[in-house]
Amino acid sequence: MLTNCPDCGGAVTRGHDTFEVRIGRRTVTVPGEYERCRGECGEFYLAPGEMDAVMKRASAMIRAEEGMLIPAEIKAFRKGIGLTQPQLEDLLGAGPKTVGRWEKGTIIQNGATDTLLRLLRDVPAALQHLLAERGIVPDVVPLVPVPRPVSYQYRVTADSAPVVRETLAVYASEAQDLEVAIPVQRAERIA
């Protein structure tokens, strides 16, 4: 902790406040700790590691609001398919160290990348295709496509029935047949 301001020499005190943090096009307000000069400059200083903590809190808030994959889900997906961070970066066309930052929670993947990650996670054939196209071989056991249940929630309007909510559990490989599975006039995905 600083006792004197390095800029003007004034006394420095520790406090808690909220910070507006901008990530991409989004701005969120998050709590954090700081040191502030009570002298003539009034400068704010963040303690070592506090900026990372503030960025992680901001990223978590945005991910929750946007319904994006969280760091643990990205890491579990990557490890589950047997790729290193650099290999996943190559697969997605992301820059160096990007996947590590997603997994630490210090930065957020964009919406398009989040959608691609979900597609690769939920549709094994898409993952196999992109791995083959990019010439990436997983470091661990070969991938075996295992269908996993995927739930979609729909607002359904039948011919003469009022609006009804239904949750359908399907396997990712059956998702293309979803229209046939719902005998209705209109089905709108809501979650």
Residues 61 and 83 both lie in one domain: no
pLDDT, tens digit (0-9, with 9 covering 90-100), for 99-118: 999 999 888 999 999 999 99
Q: Virtual CA dihedral for 168, 170, 176, 182, nearest 10 degrees?
A: -30
* Per-residue tokens: 19: 């910070």
**Cα–Cα–Cα angle for 98, 150, 163, rounded to 5 degrees:** 120
Residues 107 and 162 both lie in one domain: no
Residues 61 and 77 both lie in one domain: no
CATH number of the domain to which 97 belongs: 1.10.260.40
Residues 75 and 27 both lie in one domain: no
pLDDT for the residue 34 = 84
pLDDT at 153 over 80: no
Global pTM reads 0.62
Residue 82 lies in a domain: yes
The span from the CA of 16 to the CA of 97, in Å, is: 31
Residues 56 and 100 both lie in one domain: no
Residue 140 lies in a domain: no
Go through 89-124 and write b for each residue having 16 or more CB atoms within 10 A of its CB, e for each that does not: bbbbebeeebbebbbebbbbbeeebbebbeebbbbb
Residues 22 and 62 both lie in one domain: yes
pLDDT, tens digit (0-9, with 9 covering 90-100), for 52-79: 888 888 889 999 999 999 999 999 999 9
Residues 75 and 53 both lie in one domain: no
What total number of domains does the chain contain?
A: 3
Residues 79 and 124 both lie in one domain: yes
Position with higher pLDDT, 63 vs 189: 63
Residues 62 and 75 both lie in one domain: no
Give the CB-side neighbour count of residue 169, counting CA atoms within 13 A: 3
* Per-residue tokens: 5: 């301001």
The span from the CA of 61 to the CA of 70, in Å, is: 10
Which residues form the domain of 53?
12-66
pLDDT for the residue 142 = 45
pLDDT for the residue 170 = 39
pLDDT for the residue 118 = 96
